[in-house]
Amino acid sequence: ETGVTQTPRHLVMGMTNKKSLKCEQHLGHNAMYWYKQSAKKPLELMFVYSLEERVENNSVPSRFSPECPNSSHLFLHLHTLQPEDSALYLCASSPGTGGTWALHFGNGTRLTVT
Amino acid sequence: AQSVTQLDSQVPVFEEAPVELRCNYSSSVSVYLFWYVQYPNQGLQLLLKYLSGSTLVESINGFEAEFNKSQTSFHLRKPSVHISDTAEYFCAVSDAGGAQKLVFGQGTRLTINP
């Protein structure tokens, strides 16, 4: 398998649930990212990891908790979410964190909070 | 901080017609510029990028974009579109020499009518 794989593709959860989104990249990249894509809004960068170390946390509420156990895997743990958190969550990777690198995206997890 | 403005949220065109998707950016430093495409139910894919050198850059599927520093623009063009080009297109900018922190525009939905 190649590229960036995200699971699950769709997730419906209640506000009191705890769930996790998973991302795996098979590209040998050193940097991984979580983005939030909401309707009619620009993509919002949530977290950046470089060599498993978090290098960016873009003022994301604590109900979103990232985890990067190794350079190939990235998780986003979710708990006590709000309906406005419903969105497409995109994982991406890049060879490094310099500005020249293009991002390789997964197909996303469509999250609905009820 | 950089910002990106995509002037059109939706662009409908007929098949085989030319198209231009507009992108303007603002930044106090030198930038790298990107266009990404998102097909339905998929993540974003890199279409083309400008890092340095020739201001006209091309993609493998017939799109091109021209970096215009004086007008702070990076418009995307294709002389003849196909039904398969139906997608959402995102312009993005990053700080040259800085860490990877892509700032995305709000996207332009390109709809091709037969």
Residue B33 has which token pair?
């510029």
The residues that bridge with A45 in the sheet, in sequence order, are: A35
B51, with CB counted inside 10 A (0-12, 13-18, 19+), is middle
Q: pLDDT below 70 — which residues of chain B?
A: 97-100
Nearest to B43 among A40, A41, A108 (CB): A108
> How many Cβ contacts (< 8 angstroms) between chains A and B?
64
Q: Chain A window 65-94: which residues touch B at a Cβ cutoff of 8 Å?
A: 90, 92, 94
Nearest to B43 among A42, A90, A97 (CB): A90
CA separation for the pair B34, B14 (Å, rounded) = 25
What tens digit of pLDDT does each residue of A77-86 get? Answer: 999 999 999 9
What tens digit of pLDDT does each residue of A38-76 get? Answer: 987 889 999 999 887 887 777 899 999 999 999 999 999
Chain A partners of B102 at a C-beta cutoff of 8 Å? 45, 103
- Mapped onto helix, strand or coil, the DSSP state of residue A24 is strand
pLDDT higher than threshold 60 for residue A1: no
Location of structure tokens 């969550």: A89
Q: How many CB atoms lie within 10 A of CB A53?
A: 8
